[in-house]
Every structure is written in C-alpha cells, then in structure tokens.
A and B are shown apart, each in its own frame.
Chain A
Amino acid sequence: MDVNLINPFILAFNHVMKQVGFSEIKSGAMSAKSKDITSSGVILMVGFVGQLQGNIVYVIDAESAKKIASTMMMGMPVNELDSMACSSLSELSNMLSAHAATHLSAMGYVVDISPPGLFQGENITMTMSSNKVLCILFYADGIPIELNITIS
C-alpha cells in the first residue's frame, strides 16, 4: 500500500477534530498490521469504493469515546454511550472519512464512502479484507484515537 495514502487522513483528522472542539491534534507512530486486529472499546467502520476500495476503522477506548462525545456536545456530560453519544461519534467518523475522501479525490483517487457502523465490546478481533492494514495513532487533546485503513 502506498504510504502517501495516509496523508489525506492526517489532513482530515487535523481539520475535523479542530472543527468539533479539540485544540491540540497530534499524530503518533504509523505502523503496518496484519489483517487481524484485536481491540476493545468503540469501533467505527466506514467502507469506501471507487478508484480505491476498502475500509476505514476508528478504534477508541470506551472512556475516551465518552470524552469525545462530550466535547462534540459542547461539554455536556456523557456517562454512557446512549443514542445521542453514538450519533455524535458516528457523525465524527463520517466527517473524518468524508474529508479524507475529498483529499483522496484531489490526489486522483475518487471514492464514495458508506454510512458508518458502530460496534462496542471487549477483545474484539476484526478480520479485514486485505493483509495490509495501515495503522496510525492520533491524539486529540491527549485522547487517543486509532485509525486503521485497509485497501483491497
């Protein structure tokens, strides 16, 4: 997988996270994973098709997910992932993916994205469609968000 394809996601993350109320955005180490990823917490998956096809998977631990939902809802306390909190997290993954798709399009890769899917659990093993999964860890005001991209 061309590692330059990660750039649209970094641009999207920097832009969208600031728009939804975070001020300090950092990106951490990038790594390659095999097709099986084990995670706990909230998993958001957005599919894409077009000149590239694959899936974008955002992984956030449960407490961080509540903090993100709270920030997006202007600081309203979020004690559990109710429908409003889930809706705000889904919308976040949709905005991040749509912005990344716009940047991918500027690079010549036109893609359409699916509605996000939201899953939650402990020790969930995700098997992706491709053996190559590119992973990057972001921090929004210190809250970690893991992004996994697989391109078939």
Chain B
Amino acid sequence: MNSYSVMIVDDSPFTVAIIRDILERHGHQVVGVAETLDEVNEVVRATMPDLVTMDITLPGTDGLECTRAIHQFNPMITVIAISSMKDDDIVSEAIRHNISAYIQKPLDEDEFIDTINKAMSTDDLFEVVDAEYFGVIKEAFQKGIHSMTKTNPAFKEEFECDETILSEGVTSVINIIGKYPGRMLFSLSKATAAGLAVSILKREPREGEINNLLMELTNIVSGHAVSRLNATINKRNRSYNLRLSPPSIFVGQDMQVFPPGFKTQSALIETVFGDIILNAGFKKGE
C-alpha cells in the first residue's frame, strides 16, 4: 500500500479530525492543516504534500481559489475536494480548476480511500498513455503537415528505437514535462527543411526562417498531441497534465542523438519534400 503525505484544508476541527483519522488508519501521513488562503500558501510550501483534501467553503476564500494557489506553486499536487455542497455547477468548476475528484460529506471511509487510490495510483494510466501516444503524435503530425502544406505525409516504417539516432542534418527537439516526462523529435535533411519552408511561406525563406518554421511545426504537432493525451490523463487525475518546454533546433551533419534512457518509437515519414524521422517516447516517472 502506498503512503502519501497529505495536507488538509478545512475550517472545521471536527472534519479535520475525521479526515486525519481515516488517512492515518490507512497509512497516510497528515503533514499540515490550513483553513485560509494565507495558511494554504504557507503550509503547502513548508510541507510539499503529495495530496491535498480541499473544503470548498472556507473563511475569506474558497476551495477553488486555494487550489489555484496550490497549483501555481506546484501543478503536480493532487487536490481532492471534500464538501457538503455538490451540484453539477460546482463539480464542473472544480474540474475546470484541476481538482482531481469531488467527494460529498458526510465522508464515507471506503469511498474516500478508493478515490485517493484511483487518483494517485497511475501504473495502469501510464500503460494507456504508452499505448496511445505514438498514434496521437503521428495523427498530429499528419494534420500539422497537411494544414501547413496541403500535402499528405506517408508513414513508411515504424520501429521501437533504443539506439543512437544519426541526425539527417536538422533535428528539432521538444521536451515533455509532467507525471510522465518524455521527448519528441523530428530529424530531416537541410533540403527537406528548406522545401517545407518554401511550401509554407510560398517564397524563398529568409535567414532564420527555416528554423523558426520548424519550431512552429514542432510546437503545433506536440501541442496538439499533448492536448489529446491530457484529455485521457484528465479523466484520472488533472494534476498529471503534460506540459511542453520550448523546442530547440540542432543543425549539423552526422550529429548523434543518444537514446534518452527510456523506450522510444520511431517512424520514417515520406513527404513530398523528403523523408522525415519522427521519434518520441515517455518515461514512467517516479
């Protein structure tokens, strides 16, 4: 059984005692209690909890504002709302605020623990992401190329890849950060990159425009793909959202791209501009 560090946000000493008793009976550790926005900010920074139980009605603030403050500090912290009030409007507001689950008081011990386990245990969620991601990225790539160039890329070969990749000349890399961190890259020749640029710009590219355009394509493909994957992830735990760091472009013949230490998949894509290697993978995380 996993043990989590938990912060309780509630202004009722009675409810705090009930929540604490249940959590401790199941091996979890209550690391802090807060009932105002200032206390939430202070306690979350001091205790770095895995999980927060959040009352919705609080003095001078509410559970939504407090959740925003927690996620501004660390978006990976899971928040579960526990409140006497529950209706469709408040539940959809809670979802919009990345609250992972909503439980109505009085608290049922089994339901509470099941909810925690479902939100926090993610081994099977990784399996889902792992099974889906490459198809999602390929589709995003296909749509991205089509909408930008009105041409259709063809996926010729696909293979699992744990070897060093030799760059075709230009490599665009974007890192993915979140519960399941990962990486996506495209590798193509300079001529292919130039052909793409001419097709999209409808003129000869000026200095720096080819790289800027590749960054934009990388942002579009990875942004669409990660949004689709987040739709799956959000059904289980909205704090596990994937995020993207800015892309970088590497230009150089025979550059070696070493394997990232986790399994990746590659596809050889034929476009009218030349071949493009797509490579991506995700790590199970901590």
A residues apposed to B, CB below 8 Å: 36, 43, 45-51, 53-55, 57, 83, 86-87, 90, 110, 112-130, 150, 152
Return 7 A-B CB contacts under 8 Å, by A number.
A48-B177, A119-B250, A123-B252, A124-B252, A125-B251, A126-B249, A127-B251
Q: A47-B245, A129-B215 are in contact. List 16 more A-B contacts (CB 8 A).
A: A36-B208, A45-B248, A53-B246, A55-B175, A55-B246, A83-B259, A90-B261, A114-B183, A116-B260, A118-B257, A118-B260, A120-B258, A121-B250, A122-B252, A126-B250, A127-B248
The answer to whether A128 and B176 touch across the interface, beta carbons within 8 angstroms, is: no
| A49 CB contact (under 8 Å) in B173, B211, B215, B243 | B243
Cα distance, A126 to B171, chains bound together (Å):
9
The answer to whether B247 and A110 touch across the interface, beta carbons within 8 angstroms, is: no
The answer to whether B255 and A120 touch across the interface, beta carbons within 8 angstroms, is: yes
B254 an interface residue at 8 Å Cβ cutoff? yes
The answer to whether B181 and A115 touch across the interface, beta carbons within 8 angstroms, is: yes
Task: Return A119 CB to nearest CB of chain B, in Å.
Answer: 6
Knowing A119-B255, A120-B258, A124-B255, say if A129 contacts B175 (CB, 8 Å): no
B76 an interface residue at 8 Å Cβ cutoff? yes
Count of interface residues, chain B, beta-carbon cutoff 8 Å? 40
The answer to whether A124 and B177 touch across the interface, beta carbons within 8 angstroms, is: no
The answer to whether A121 and B252 touch across the interface, beta carbons within 8 angstroms, is: yes
Contact mask for chain B residues 163-185; partner A; CB cutoff 8 A; 1 contact, 0 none: 00001000101111110011100
B117 an interface residue at 8 Å Cβ cutoff? no
B256 an interface residue at 8 Å Cβ cutoff? yes
Cα distance, A119 to B166, chains bound together (Å):
10
B residues apposed to A, CB below 8 Å: 72-76, 167, 171, 173-178, 181-183, 208, 211, 215, 243-262, 283
The answer to whether B175 and A121 touch across the interface, beta carbons within 8 angstroms, is: no
Task: Return B65 CB to nearest CB of chain A, in Å.
Answer: 18
The answer to whether A112 and B256 touch across the interface, beta carbons within 8 angstroms, is: no
Q: Which residue of A lies closest to B283 (CB)?
A: A115
Task: Return A53 CB to nearest CB of chain B, in Å.
Answer: 6
The answer to whether A119 and B181 touch across the interface, beta carbons within 8 angstroms, is: no
Q: Which residue of A lies closest to B165 (CB)?
A: A119
| B173 CB contact (under 8 Å) in A86, A117, A123 | A117
Cα distance, A116 to B181, chains bound together (Å):
10
Cα distance, A50 to B261, chains bound together (Å):
24
Q: Which residue of A lies closest to B245 (CB)?
A: A47
Task: Return B162 CB to nearest CB of chain A, in Å.
Answer: 10
Contacts of A124 in B (CB 8 A): 250-252, 255
| B258 CB contact (under 8 Å) in A86, A110, A125 | A86
Cα distance, A127 to B283, chains bound together (Å):
26
Q: Which residue of B lies closest to A42 (CB)?
A: B258
Q: Which residue of B lies closest to A129 (CB)?
A: B246
Contacts of A125 in B (CB 8 A): 250-252
Task: Return A49 CB to nearest CB of chain B, in Å.
Answer: 5
The answer to whether A127 and B255 touch across the interface, beta carbons within 8 angstroms, is: no
Cα distance, A55 to B257, chains bound together (Å):
17
The answer to whether A117 and B260 touch across the interface, beta carbons within 8 angstroms, is: yes
Contacts of A122 in B (CB 8 A): 252, 254
Cα distance, A119 to B258, chains bound together (Å):
6
Cα distance, A130 to B253, chains bound together (Å):
24
Knowing A45-B175, A90-B261, say if A117 contacts B251 (CB, 8 Å): no
Cα distance, A29 to B183, chains bound together (Å):
32
Contacts of A126 in B (CB 8 A): 248-251
| B245 CB contact (under 8 Å) in A43, A54, A118, A127 | A54
Cα distance, A130 to B249, chains bound together (Å):
12
Contacts of B245 in A (CB 8 A): 47-49, 53-55, 114
Contacts of A130 in B (CB 8 A): 246
Contacts of B215 in A (CB 8 A): 127, 129
Task: Return B42 CB to nearest CB of chain A, in Å.
Answer: 14
Cα distance, A102 to B248, chains bound together (Å):
24
| A112 CB contact (under 8 Å) in B76, B208, B248, B258 | B76
Contacts of A127 in B (CB 8 A): 208, 211, 215, 248-251
